[in-house]
Structure 1
Amino acid sequence: MQPTLFEGAKRLVYDDAVELTVQSMQAYGPAHDHWGIAWSGGKDSSATLTLILHLIEVGRIAPPRSLTVFYADTRQELPPLAISASRIMDQLQRRGVRCEVVTAPLDKRFLVYILGRGVPPPNNNTLRWCTRQIKIDPMTAALEARLDELGGGILMITGVRQGESAIRDQRIVMSCGKDGAECGQGWYQQVLPAAKGIRGRIATLAPLLHWRVCNVWDWLKIYAPSPDYGGWATREIADAYGGDEAEEINARTGCAGCPLASKDLALDTIIASADWSYLSPLKGLKPLYRELRLPENRLRKAGFEYLKDGSRAANPQRMGPLTFDARLMGLDRILSIQAQVNVAARAARRPEIDILNAEEEARIRFLIAAGTWPQGWAGDEPTADTPMDTLFGDGSVQPLLV
């Protein structure tokens, strides 16, 4: 019989945490015929995915009628996480576990949207479109399609943990008792997504809510990769975060070169490793995204802008989309960064990357050649660094001083 986490010398260091996870799944799992696991490829969702499957395999929790893994592929993940996710998906396939890769439609993918359509890279002040567009909306659509197939509801299992985000923690504290959930049994909710197609059809459970980051590292680096616990390809996930050296506050990753992060802490950690040092050209992404947002690379409304109802918009002379020259410059830079990484990867016999694949590149060039602009822009507006009279929201004008 296959050993489990609960036998003698092979007990998890923090086995009480695992036992609470088992209790959580035993309390809420049987009430739902169909389960889904929301998986981002990061540390918490990967620990959740592999632990739940291990517990099913060794008989600690009863399997549902159907289990679907939803992998959120943003196409912008840090390479070690994307590579590990690909290997884990191969392992899921060999186990007969259904895994759906959830990706945004081609025209809404991060780099196609920026370089093909001309929408400036996101920032924290005025334009934070990326998370919704490349992760939330595609996942909502995938869930709706799966729910239609099942003809009923689904229990979505997530990797949410306390300590992962101060804002998220406060939300958990305010609602931890919702729908009869007991403290310590995970964050269970029946009142969930507001999206029209899935409203009232999903409950969620966070069975690792109580895990500390050290529990996660132990599972990913020591237990999950062991044949006794499934032989999962999780060790490199922990390494991507710095493993045991990482503090909870720094144990988070985002996209490679994320424009919303002040520092590339995760990428810095990765390229500090000899095995991943060849990824260092990716450090050029963040400066490129900042450069693309500069006035000389964007258009600007020259006068007052009026809405469909005839009212005047409150932000006259707002900066807008990227010029075609800026988009082509950005495309060339990203392809160059990718090429540098892959030349070094081949020399070192390491995995290559494709942050921009051939299909996406072709679509970007097509949209540029077709003269594509975001809605509300004609392309004949001046560049944002063009001197002009200053307009104010109250309708007053300060003439250009010459």
Structure 2
Amino acid sequence: MRQPTLFEGTKRLVYDEAIDLTLQSLQAYGPAHDHWAIAWSGGKDSTALLTLIIHLIEVGRIAAPKTLTIFYADTRQELLPLAIAAQRITAQLAARGIAVEIVMAPLDKRFLVYILGRGVPPPNNNTLRWCTRQIKIDPMADALEARLSALDGNVLMLTGVRQGESAIRDQRIVMSCGKDGAECGQGWYQQVLPNAKGIRGRIATLAPLLHWRVCNIWDWLRVFAPMREYGGWSTALIADVYGGDEAEERNARTGCTGCPLTDKDLALDNLIAMPDWAYLAPLKGLKPLYRELRLPRNRIRKTGLEFRKDGTPAANPQRMGPLTFEARLMGLDRVLVIQGQVNEAARSLGRPEIDLLNAEEEARIRELIAAQTWPHGWDGDEPTADTPLDTVFRDGSIQPLLV
């Protein structure tokens, strides 16, 4: 029996309109740019975008650009099935003659090296959300800048942004959907990549899947993309991270393994509930570790009134700061124990091992600690943050410690 296709025949898919809008956006804006790039995180939306774009080019539905560059954002913190799927898809792209540029933060700015080596506390959603910018956005901007320097003309950056993926992001989409002459419904098109250093004015962004629903994403990843006629992509594994057979219903979002910014590890919980991935359960110890590292007893604190360069008082003269060396070593030991527990189980079961910290990263952490490295503005002679102190206010007044 002939399989239904995405583009022709009587057995049309229920999301024909979404496919048509995707094609319209690519046909409208793609030819205006000689060079395309795809920002790929390894998650469901960007993987659907990547594999669909390659398929559309291969079957002649859209014209291939002069150059196509794929940037894979390797944060070193991805959940294991996503990392495995990314490796397999990268190999499939290589077999097609399509190179993938691995984008990774410099060694000293990688997530665990930055925390355990330099002593910067784990991120939070309030005052210190440094992780997304540092391990994903900045490395991607640097890679784009380097790529643009080797090209003439502008680049069209394709992203997997969708409505409904994030309430905050949706508000930005609503405000920006019609920017730069894009018709509402043709995808979120902007002629400037916001907040991108060194590349402003030379890059446009387009979100061809803007109007796709999550059911469309899963139909593509689990049914169509793995079919030979649609590319035979290794995308089915991604569903495990989002809830296995119930991925569409659960619609869990993913972040880093043990992400400190979320209340619950829904993706990890979904994963370890499956027999094949249950051996990853020790990874549940990462989130409590990150919370523990943020406690006052594991950090140092400023003792009094500080001034900015312009002479005005600092907003928080007795703010908590970086991790003590003891806390860093404790954290390093705990991460290595968790990694060891998972990999010991993996070897006994014949399952894939994890790589939270590789030898280079562990050595660099120990080197930074041995060199008594502190973040900028800290000397290390400050007291631990649980030490009782007189209260210093911004106006310079002091409330003595009550004893």
- CA shift, 1:333, in A, is 0.3
The answer on whether the counterparts of 2:79 and 2:257 sit within 8 Å (CA) in structure 1 is: yes
- CA shift, 1:250, in A, is 4.3
Deviations 1:34-93 (A, max 9, x none): 000010000000000000101111111110000000111111111111111111111111
The answer on whether the counterparts of 1:4 and 1:229 sit within 8 Å (CA) in structure 2 is: no
What is the aligned partner in structure 1 of residue 215 from structure 2?
214
Deviations 1:213-253 (A, max 9, x none): 00001111111111121111111112211256346884311
Aligned length: 401
Q: AA paired with 1:8?
A: G
The 5-angstrom pairing of residues 347-386 of structure 1 reads 347-386=348-387
The 5-angstrom pairing of residues 2-401 of structure 1 reads 5-8=6-9, 11-242=12-243, 245-246=246-247, 250-401=251-402
The separation in 2 between residues aligned to 1:361 and 1:224, in whole angstroms, is 38
The answer on whether the counterparts of 1:37 and 1:70 sit within 8 Å (CA) in structure 2 is: yes
Q: Describe the shift of the 1:314–1:248 C-alpha distance in structure 2 as closer, same or farther (beyond 3 A).
A: farther
Length-normalised TM-score, structure 1 = 0.96
Q: Which moved more, 1:182-191 or 1:88-97?
A: 182-191
Alignment partner of 1:360: what SS? helix
Alignment partner of 1:197: what SS? coil
Deviations 1:122-167 (A, max 9, x none): 1112111111111111000000000001132100010011111112
The separation in 1 between residues aligned to 2:51 and 2:88, in whole angstroms, is 13
The answer on whether the counterparts of 1:250 and 1:265 sit within 8 Å (CA) in structure 2 is: no
The separation in 2 between residues aligned to 1:400 and 1:188, in whole angstroms, is 57
- CA shift, 1:386, in A, is 1.1
Structure 1: gaps spanning 5 or more residues: none
The answer on whether the counterparts of 1:116 and 1:363 sit within 8 Å (CA) in structure 2 is: yes
Deviations 1:240-284 (A, max 9, x none): 112563468843111111111111111111111111111111100
Q: AA paired with 2:176?
A: S
The answer on whether the counterparts of 1:217 and 1:243 sit within 8 Å (CA) in structure 2 is: no
Alignment partner of 2:383: what SS? coil
The answer on whether the counterparts of 2:177 and 2:184 sit within 8 Å (CA) in structure 1 is: yes
The separation in 1 between residues aligned to 2:265 and 2:356, in whole angstroms, is 17
The answer on whether the counterparts of 2:299 and 2:320 sit within 8 Å (CA) in structure 1 is: yes
The separation in 2 between residues aligned to 1:143 and 1:237, in whole angstroms, is 26
The separation in 1 between residues aligned to 2:196 and 2:243, in whole angstroms, is 36
Alignment partner of 1:211: what SS? coil
The separation in 2 between residues aligned to 1:248 and 1:176, in whole angstroms, is 27
Length-normalised TM-score, structure 2 = 0.96
The answer on whether the counterparts of 1:257 and 1:283 sit within 8 Å (CA) in structure 2 is: yes
Q: AA paired with 2:70?
A: V
Q: Which moved more, 1:391-400 or 1:223-232?
A: 391-400
Q: AA paired with 2:9?
A: G
Alignment partner of 1:125: what SS? coil
Q: Describe the shift of the 1:32–1:182 C-alpha distance in structure 2 as closer, same or farther (beyond 3 A).
A: same
Q: AA paired with 1:302?
A: T
Q: AA paired with 1:235?
A: A
The answer on whether the counterparts of 2:305 and 2:314 sit within 8 Å (CA) in structure 1 is: yes
- CA shift, 1:348, in A, is 1.4
Structure 2: gaps spanning 5 or more residues: none
The separation in 1 between residues aligned to 2:97 and 2:336, in whole angstroms, is 37
- CA shift, 1:389, in A, is 1.3
Query: What's the RMSD between the two structures over aligned residues?
Result: 1.7
The separation in 1 between residues aligned to 2:28 and 2:250, in whole angstroms, is 31
Q: Which moved more, 1:306-315 or 1:174-183?
A: 306-315
- CA shift, 1:291, in A, is 0.2
- CA shift, 1:343, in A, is 0.9
Q: AA paired with 1:221?
A: R
The separation in 1 between residues aligned to 2:10 and 2:361, in whole angstroms, is 51
- CA shift, 1:26, in A, is 1.2
The separation in 1 between residues aligned to 2:375 and 2:249, in whole angstroms, is 39
Alignment partner of 2:365: what SS? helix
The answer on whether the counterparts of 2:243 and 2:250 sit within 8 Å (CA) in structure 1 is: no
The separation in 2 between residues aligned to 1:364 and 1:158, in whole angstroms, is 34
The separation in 1 between residues aligned to 2:82 and 2:248, in whole angstroms, is 19
Alignment partner of 1:59: what SS? coil
The separation in 2 between residues aligned to 1:367 and 1:176, in whole angstroms, is 45
Alignment partner of 1:188: what SS? strand
The separation in 1 between residues aligned to 2:14 and 2:196, in whole angstroms, is 40
- CA shift, 1:7, in A, is 4.1
The separation in 2 between residues aligned to 1:203 and 1:122, in whole angstroms, is 30
The answer on whether the counterparts of 2:252 and 2:266 sit within 8 Å (CA) in structure 1 is: no
Q: AA paired with 2:399?
A: Q
